[in-house]
Structure 1
Amino acid sequence: MCGDLPEQQHSRRTFLNVATAALTVGAAAVALPGTASAAAARQRVPVDKISIQLYSLRSLLQNDPEGTLSALADIGYRKVELAGTYGRSATEFRAILDRNHIKASSTHVGIDGDLNQVIADAKVLGNRSVVVPYANFGTIAEWEAFAGRMNTAAVAFKKAGLALGYHNHDHEFAPIGGVVPYDVLTAKTDKRLVHLEIDLFWAVNGGADPVELFRRNYPRVTQYHVKDRTADGQMVDPGAGVINFPRIFAASCHNIGEYIVEHDQPADPLNTAKVGFEYLRTVRF
């Protein structure tokens, strides 16, 4: 099983040793599918690290949060990532989570509103991390200013016992005047305070290699959004596309705390939830 390394072992040397071995395994699995994959795959995603972004189920949660969360619990989920509370207060939504024995370890929320309220709600909901879900600016100067706001907010969140992260789409990898916004964001935010939640679909869609992103930003990448992509760029459920998740997971599993299933526009949200959970539960690398 692939678990977290102790904090004191998070070093570049540790990364290079683990990642080099993992990439060798990943490369073998790609080069020799079938028997080679079976022989090399020795690790799995721990069930307690599997989560789902509730945005994927927003059409169901709006009308029936109790039934939807109960269905997720029946699938096997014990963690979720929030994107709002669907007309309920933080206290009300926490009660529904508790009744279904589910923890909301993470939440998507912006930082430009009332941070005191965001922090208060996150504490009630039991969040450990707060993640900015989206930002988009037309100039590098604006990205730099946003990074400064992230740093300021991160200090407030840390004082409250919460981690602050950033979730990417694909536009962050499109250069502006020859400069890549994601590089600016990672360079200008405090690596000790702001972690990275890499959305694997959007990273690949933007032309980035998730393994390289992980390597370059080690050990800041602690969460993955796991959604798949067809060769022509269509979003599909995990395991139904061409993204090489075993390669990505093998290179990074020692540092990832949550593997979060997501699909932005699922035809059948609960089926996506089930397919995603089963994929992560059974994938080997």
Structure 2
Amino acid sequence: MSDSPKSRLSRRAMLRTTAGAAAVAGIAAATAGTAQAGWGHGGGHGHGGRRLPKERIAVQLYTLRNALEADLEGTLGALSDIGYRNVELAGTYGRSAKEFRGLLDRYRLRAVSAHVDFRGADVDQLIDDARILGYHVADCAYANFGTIAEWASFAQDLEAAGKAFRKAGIAYGYHNHAHEFQAIDGVRPFDVIARTTTRRNIHFEYDLYWLVVAGADPVREFYRQFGRVRQFHVKDRADDGSFADLGTGNIDFARIFRETWAGGAVLHYIVEHDQPTDPLKTAEVGYDYLRDLRF
């Protein structure tokens, strides 16, 4: 496909139509919880003049999974046209690590992170793939157990996997949902993960939407694990609890970013939406919001 400016614009318009048709209809509602009053509204541009460095802005490709399945190359090209240079991977859509890396390079995209589950996987193979794809940060995307004992066992395994990744030069972490912050027998599973693992081997990727849904204050939780929170999933929440494009919901990202900026600990601010009706529009709105946000 030609890469002239005209063709890129046509490709982008075409992909928006394709992505919209391929997307899952409807927006999933959140399970429980409401935003605390202090979080305010996320639509504004905050106070002060600080902006996120563009090199810290990324998009989680899970957001665009339907578009990527419909047209892998066209979607990657459209993301590049929007302005993204960084992506977080969630699979390689039937391509080998080498093939997918070639596509990323072709469209001037860089994998800065990936969601990879160590459970039932060949960790050595995951490490080999990471080296080919080029990322140095990875995360376990999901776990859920009914007892604290099961969470503790999982955390021990997570620590062991993190150690193996670290020795290979890859930082490994855990990505939260809401349930890790909801107590089982008076104990929050997230606290079990935090105290069972070490900061040397396991960092945290905070999904800000799910923290809010859980009724937790992202800033407070950031300082409870100060130095271990290296990534944010930046996902907005509509008033009815469903997912929202960035800046159209009620999470005050300016406040969160401003109050967690200490030390520049957060490496990646990753745009995500679990059920977008128009994935490329969601990606573009998210990029523009993070690029222009002042805090």
TM-score tier by shorter-chain length is 0.7 to 0.9
Maintained 8 Å contact 1:238/1:275: yes
Matched, 1:199 2:207: yes
Q: Deviations over 1:124-172 (max 9, x none)?
A: 1001111000000010011111111111111110111100011001111
Once the 2 structures are TM-superposed, how far is the Cα of residue 62 of structure 1 from its aligned partner? 1.4
Distance in 1, Cα, partners of 2:275 & 2:133? 25
Percent identical among aligned pairs is 54
Partner of 1:219: 227
Equivalent position SS for 2:87: strand
Structure 1: 4+ residue segments shifted above 2 A: none
Partner of 2:27: none
Kindly provide the amino acid, as one letter, of the partner of residue 221 in structure 2. Answer: L
Matched, 1:163 2:153: no
Once the 2 structures are TM-superposed, how far is the Cα of residue 234 of structure 1 from its aligned partner? 1.1
Gap regions ≥5 residues in structure 1: 1-26
Match of 2:256 among 242, 248, 252: 248
Identify the structure with bigger relative contact order (alpha carbons < 8 Å, sequence gap 6+). Answer: 2
TM-score normalised by L of structure 1? 0.86
Distance in 1, Cα, partners of 2:55 & 2:128? 25
Matched, 1:45 2:52: yes
Matched, 1:125 2:125: no
Partner of 1:3: none
The correspondence of residues 71-86 of structure 1 with structure 2, limited to 5 A, is 71-86=78-93
**What do you get for the CA RMSD once the two structures are aligned?**
1.8
Once the 2 structures are TM-superposed, how far is the Cα of residue 73 of structure 1 from its aligned partner? 0.4
Match of 2:239 among 220, 231, 238: 231
Maintained 8 Å contact 1:62/1:87: no
Kindly provide the amino acid, as one letter, of the partner of residue 107 in structure 1. Answer: A
Equivalent position SS for 1:155: helix
Equivalent position SS for 1:195: strand
Once the 2 structures are TM-superposed, how far is the Cα of residue 30 of structure 1 from its aligned partner? 6.4
Gap regions ≥5 residues in structure 2: 1-37
Matched, 1:114 2:122: yes
Kindly provide the amino acid, as one letter, of the partner of residue 103 in structure 2. Answer: I
Matched, 1:260 2:270: yes
TM-score normalised by L of structure 2? 0.83
Distance in 2, Cα, partners of 1:30 & 1:135? 30
Equivalent position SS for 1:225: strand
Distance in 2, Cα, partners of 1:42 & 1:219? 24
Maintained 8 Å contact 2:40/2:251: no
Match of 1:145 among 128, 149, 153: 153
Distance in 1, Cα, partners of 2:266 & 2:50? 13
